[in-house]
Amino acid sequence: MAVSSIIIEQLIEMSKNSIDFTEVNKQILQSFINVLDFNYLSEDNKVIKVKTIYGAPERAIAEIFQENAIILPLISVYQIESIESQERRHFAPVVKSQKWWNHKTQRAERVISLAPKAMDFIFQISLWGKYIEDINEISPQIRKLFNPSLNLETDLHDHTQVFLTEEEDSYTYDTGDGEDRTLVKTFTVNVETYIPYPIYKITSTGKIEEVVFDLEIRTG
């Protein structure tokens, strides 16, 4: 069933400033950190889990050189930016119309929403270590995650694709305080995701109302 131009105008107006970037970003970040599960072999042949923290390189360096120094290697994750995808964006409003089954009323109801907003979240993975051997041991583990992409699962999306877009060779991070040298290698990744708009129900009177998200899609 086609959606009238009046309803589309109402939908656009009601959906203004309604995208929750914070919640989507939080879920993506947590899911991404969870998959960064790497190990390295210590000098005494023990398998050690690499700790992962969130924060800019400055925070990682601060933690490395604090009083109770963190054992290297260490991975830090930092979000560089979030931008609307130029390749996947819509150039005009697209309305999604579906039938959902309402358990409370025991009947199918027609719901509509604007198509999700295509976004790219850019993250930087920094791999810190004292020895190039550790960097070289962990780097292939990072690369293997992307074959050619990594799929993240969140409460909002089952298929969020992450691509490795850039890799920078190891270099020495100069702290300027005479401490032991620290090596760092960086990987830049692009998270391709969609930010959902609110879902609205079309009533029998032709008006639209915001839906409480306890509906289940009806198949068949």
**Residue 70 belongs to domain with CATH number:** 3.30.2000
Number of domains in the chain: 1
pTM score, two decimals?
0.77
pLDDT in tens, the chain (220 residues): 556 677 777 777 777 767 677 888 888 999 999 999 999 988 888 999 999 999 888 787 777 777 556 788 999 999 999 898 888 876 666 777 778 777 777 778 788 888 888 899 999 999 999 889 999 999 999 999 998 999 998 887 778 899 999 999 887 766 555 556 789 999 999 999 988 888 888 776 667 776 654 444 443 3
Return d(Cα 31, Cα 128) in angstroms, integer: 21
SS3 21: helix
Return d(Cα 31, Cα 19) in angstroms, integer: 20
Domain hosting residue 121, numbered range: 5-217
Per the CB < 8 A criterion, the answer to whether 72 and 129 are in contact is: yes
Phi first, then psi, for residue 97 (nearest 5°) are -125, 130
Return d(Cα 120, Cα 153) in angstroms, integer: 16
